[in-house]
Structure 1
Amino acid sequence: MFETLIRGATIVNAEGLDRRDVGITGGRITALVAPGEAAEAGTVVDARSCFLLPGLVDAHAHLREPGLTHKEDFSSGTHAAALGGVTTVLDMPTDEPWTATAEQLADKMAMAEGRIHVDVGFQAVVSRDLSFTPRLLELAPVSFELFTADVPEAFLFSTFDDVARALRNFDQADTLIGISPGDQSILTGSSERNKAGTIAAFLDSRPPSAEAGGIARAVLAAAVTGARIHVRQINSELGAKVWSRLRDMADASVETTPQNLFFSADDYETQGARLKGSPPLRSRRDVDALRAALGAGLIDIVATDHAPHAPAEKAAPYASFADIPGGMPGLQILLQAMLKLVDEGLITLPDLVRLCARNPAERFGLGKRKGRIAAGYDADVLIVNPRQSSTIADADQVSRAAYSPFNGWTVKARLTNVFLRGKEIVRDQVLIDPAQGKPVRRES
Structure 2
Amino acid sequence: MELGSTVSAVRSQRVLLGDEIRPAVILIKDGKIHQILSDISVDVPCEVLDVADSVVMPGIVDSHVHVNEPGRTSWEGFWTATRAAAAGGVTTIVDMPLNSIPPTTTLSNFRDKMQEATGKCFVDTAFWGGVIPGNQLELRPLMEAGVAGFKCFLIHTMQQLQGTGSVLLFHAERDVQQTAEEDGDPSQYSTFLQSRPDVMETEAIRTVTELCLEFQVRCHIVHLSSAEPLKLIQAARQAGAPLTVETTHHYLSLCAENIPAGATQFKCCPPIRGSANQEQLWSALKAGQIDMVVSDHSPCTPDLKKLERGDFTEAWGGISSLQFGLPLFWSSASKRGFQLSDVVRLLSRNTAQLSRLDNQKGSLAPGYDADLVIWDPEREFEIKEGGIHHKNKGVVCATLVRGQLVYREGCFCPEPLGKLLLVPPERSQK
Match runs of 1:216-235 below 5 Å: 216-235=206-225
Identity %: 27
Please state if 1:244 is matched with 2:222: no
Distance 2:300 2:415 in 1: 23
Distance 2:119 2:34 in 1: 26
Of 20, 38, 45, 1:34 maps to 38
Shift of 1:96: 1.7
Of 391, 405, 410, 1:409 maps to 391
Give the match's secondary structure for 1:357.
Answer: helix
Shift of 1:140: 1.6
Shift of 1:285: 1.3
Distance 2:174 2:224 in 1: 13
Match runs of 1:6-85 below 5 Å: 6-13=10-17, 15-36=19-40, 38-85=42-89
Count of paired positions: 415
Distance 2:221 2:346 in 1: 14
Per the alignment, residue 131 of structure 2 pairs with 126
Per the alignment, residue 144 of structure 1 pairs with 150
Q: Which stretch of structure 1 is more off in the superposition, 25-34 or 36-45?
A: 36-45
Per the alignment, residue 434 of structure 1 pairs with 415
Superposition TM-score, scaled by structure 1 size: 0.88
Distance 1:76 1:24 in 2: 28
Of 174, 178, 188, 1:190 maps to 178
Shift of 1:205: 2.2
Contact 1:197 1:322 in 2 (8 A): no
Please list every run of at least 4 consecutive aligned residues from structure 1 whose deviation after the TM superposition is greater than 6 angstroms: none
Deviations 1:280-307 (A, max 9, x none): 1112211111111112221101001100
Give the match's secondary structure for 2:190.
Answer: helix
Q: Say if 1:20 and 1:423 are closer, same or farther in 2 by CA, change over 3 A.
A: same
Per the alignment, residue 113 of structure 1 pairs with 118
Distance 1:102 1:355 in 2: 31
Contact 2:262 2:311 in 1 (8 A): no
Give the match's secondary structure for 1:111.
Answer: helix
Q: Say if 1:92 and 1:427 are closer, same or farther in 2 by CA, change over 3 A.
A: same
Superposition TM-score, scaled by structure 2 size: 0.91
Please state if 1:305 is matched with 2:296: yes
Distance 2:261 2:57 in 1: 35
Contact 2:264 2:307 in 1 (8 A): no
Distance 1:387 1:134 in 2: 47
Shift of 1:433: 4.2
Contact 2:262 2:307 in 1 (8 A): no
Contact 1:318 1:324 in 2 (8 A): no
- Computed over aligned residues only, the root mean square deviation of the Cα atoms, in angstroms, reads 2.1
Aligned-partner residue type, residue 161 of structure 2: F
Distance 1:135 1:81 in 2: 29
Aligned-partner residue type, residue 358 of structure 1: R
Aligned-partner residue type, residue 438 of structure 1: K
Please state if 1:99 is matched with 2:104: yes
Of 190, 193, 196, 1:200 maps to 190
Q: Which stretch of structure 1 is more off in the superposition, 350-359 or 66-75?
A: 66-75
Match runs of 1:323-342 below 5 Å: 323-342=314-333
Shift of 1:168: 1.3
Give the match's secondary structure for 1:362.
Answer: helix
Per the alignment, residue 268 of structure 1 pairs with 259
Q: Say if 1:115 and 1:178 are closer, same or farther in 2 by CA, change over 3 A.
A: same
Give the match's secondary structure for 1:308.
Answer: coil
Deviations 1:204-244 (A, max 9, x none): 22110110111221122111101011111112121233323
Q: Which stretch of structure 1 is more off in the superposition, 240-249 or 126-135?
A: 240-249
Contact 2:63 2:93 in 1 (8 A): yes
Per the alignment, residue 209 of structure 1 pairs with 199
Q: Say if 1:319 and 1:3 are closer, same or farther in 2 by CA, change over 3 A.
A: closer
Give the match's secondary structure for 1:67.
Answer: coil
Distance 1:105 1:144 in 2: 12
Deviations 1:33-77 (A, max 9, x none): 122253424320112222111110111110111111111111111
Contact 2:181 2:191 in 1 (8 A): no
Q: Gaps spanning 5+ residues in structure 2: where? A: 1-5
Distance 1:258 1:288 in 2: 13
Shift of 1:426: 0.7
Match runs of 1:272-287 below 5 Å: 272-287=263-278
Shift of 1:410: 2.6
Q: Say if 1:371 and 1:201 are closer, same or farther in 2 by CA, change over 3 A.
A: same
Distance 2:357 2:375 in 1: 23
Q: Which stretch of structure 1 is more off in the superposition, 315-324 or 41-50?
A: 315-324
Contact 2:221 2:244 in 1 (8 A): yes
Deviations 1:349-381 (A, max 9, x none): 100000000001012110010001110111100
Distance 2:336 2:63 in 1: 24
Distance 1:333 1:193 in 2: 31
Give the match's secondary structure for 1:178.
Answer: strand
Contact 1:13 1:54 in 2 (8 A): no
Shift of 1:13: 4.8
Match runs of 1:348-363 below 5 Å: 348-363=339-354
